[in-house]
Amino acid sequence: MRLAGTKVAAAAATVALAAGLGALAAGPASAGSAHQVPTTWPGVACLGNIHLPVAPAPGQPAVWHVTGQLCATRAELARHQAVQQLDNGLTYDASYGDFDPALGYSYQRRMAAAGWASFAYSPVGTRWSSHPLSTDVTITVAVYVSHEADQDLRRGTVAGARFATAVGVGHSFWSITLQLQAATWPGDFSAVLTGSAHDDTTFHATAAADEEPAADDPAFASLGLGSGYFTTDPGVREMLYGSAEDESPAIAARDEAAKDFASATERTTGIPLLTTTLTLAISAPVLVINGSADQLDCGAVVGGGTCSCASGAVIQSEEAPRYSPRAHLAACVVPGAGHSWELAINHDTGERDVIAWLRGEPMPADCCRRAA
C-alpha cells in the first residue's frame, strides 16, 4: 500500500491536468501561468510537483519520495497505452526533460505532441526528491526506485493516469540504470532509449576533477548535505556536457543555473557496469542516440583504443556486440551536439529520430537500424 488517501490525491491531480488541457484547447496559457505551453505544442499540458513515495528495496517501507512531472494530451490520457519514463543523468533532474519550453527546449512536450505521454522524475539523491545519506543511494537502490516509478505508471498512481506499457528513456549515467532495470525486470519496458556507450573514455575518467562537494555550492548550502554528494564546479558544464558550436549561450547559462547534485556512492557502484555485458540480457528494442561531439561517450578509451560517434552507423557497429539480436539495436547521432544533446541547438534532430523509431518508420539518414 502506498499512502492513505492516494486515490483521492490522484483523482485531484487528474482533474488539475485535465483543467490544464481544457485551457490549452481554448488557446495559449496566459502570462504567469504555472505551466505555459508554447503554440508549437497545441493540446499539451504538464503537471509538475508530483510526489511518489518510494522504498529503497523490496519489502522495505516507502520512507523516501521522488518528485516528477507528467506531460500529455487528453487523447494520450484516454488511451491508457504507452508512456515514456525519463531518467536523467547525474547532476540533472526532471527539468532536463522540459528544459526551456519558451525557447523550444522540451523533450516532454515534443513527445506529447507526437503521441506519447511522458513522466520525468528527479531521482532519490537530488534536490527536489529525498536526499538521504549519500552512502544509502547506490545503483541498486536507483534501479529499484526506477522500477517503482514504472509500476506506479501502470497502477495509475501518477496523477491518476494509468498506462499499459512504458518506454524507458535514459540520459548519461541513468542509461546504465535503465539498462540494468531492463535486464532485471524484462517486463518493465517495451523499448529502451539510451544515451550511453559501453566504453569508458579518458575524458570521462578525468571529469571528476571538475566537481566539488555539493555542500560547498551556495545553491545547496542550506540543505545539510554530507560530503558524499557532489556537483559540478562553476562554469564547466558546457565544457563537460555541451558543445560551444551547438549550444546557445542562453541555454548554457540556464544549464549552469539549473544544475543539481548526485551521490558519489551511486556513481561508484554504477560506473563499473558501464563496460560489462549486462545489456546482452535486454530483450526489448533499444535505440542509442549520442551527440557527435560527445566527449564523455566518444573519443580515446581508457586502456587504449577509441570509440567514435561520427554517425549512427558507426555507433551501431560499435555497440551491436553488447546487445542481443532481440534488441534490434538502432543508433542515431545528433551532428555537432555534446553529451547532453537535448540542450543542443539542433536537439529536434534527436527528437525526430525518437519519434520515427517509436513509430516504426524508416530511420533518418543520421541513424542505422539492425535488420530484423
Residue with grid cell 544533446, as numbered in its chain: 341
Q: Average pLDDT for residues 257-275, to the nearest whole number?
A: 95
Q: Are 70 and 158 in contact (CB under 8 A)?
A: yes
64, three cell numbers: 523516501
pLDDT in tens, 13-69: 434 454 444 433 333 332 223 333 344 788 999 999 999 999 999 999 999 999 999
pTM of the model: 0.89
pLDDT higher than threshold 90 for residue 344: yes
Q: What's the Cα-to-Cα distance from 244 to each of 251, 294, 343, rounded to whole Å?
A: 11, 12, 11
At 366 the pLDDT is 84
Spans of all domains in the chain: 6-369
CB-based contacts of 214, cutoff 8 Å, min separation 6: 220, 223, 225, 229, 230, 231, 261
Query: What is the rounded average pLDDT of the residues 288-310?
Result: 90
C-alpha torsion sign, points 87, 18, 254, 226: negative
Phi, psi at residue 276, to the nearest 5°?
-90, 180
pLDDT in tens, 191-235: 898 877 888 888 888 888 899 999 999 999 999 999 999 999 999
Residues 6+ apart with CB under 8 A from 254: 99, 100
Kindly tell me if the per-residue pLDDT of 8 is higher than 50: no
Nearest to 267 by CA among 190, 202, 325, 208: 208
* Mean pLDDT, residues 281-295 taken together: 94
User: What is the chain's mean pLDDT, rounded?
Assistant: 87
Q: Which three cell numbers stand for residue 202?
A: 579518458
**Per-residue pLDDT band at 276 (split at 50, 70, 90):** confident
Q: Has residue 318 got a pLDDT over 50?
A: yes
Average pLDDT over residues 331-342: 95
Write the pLDDT tens digit of every residue in 152-193: 999 999 999 999 999 999 999 999 999 999 999 999 999 898
For residues 313 and 38, which has the higher predicted lDDT (pLDDT)?
A: 313
- The percent of residues above 70 in pLDDT, for the chain, comes to 89
Question: What pLDDT sits at residue 42?
Answer: 87
CA dist., res. 92 & res. 114, Å (int): 25
The fold for domain 6-369 equals Rossmann fold (3.40.50)
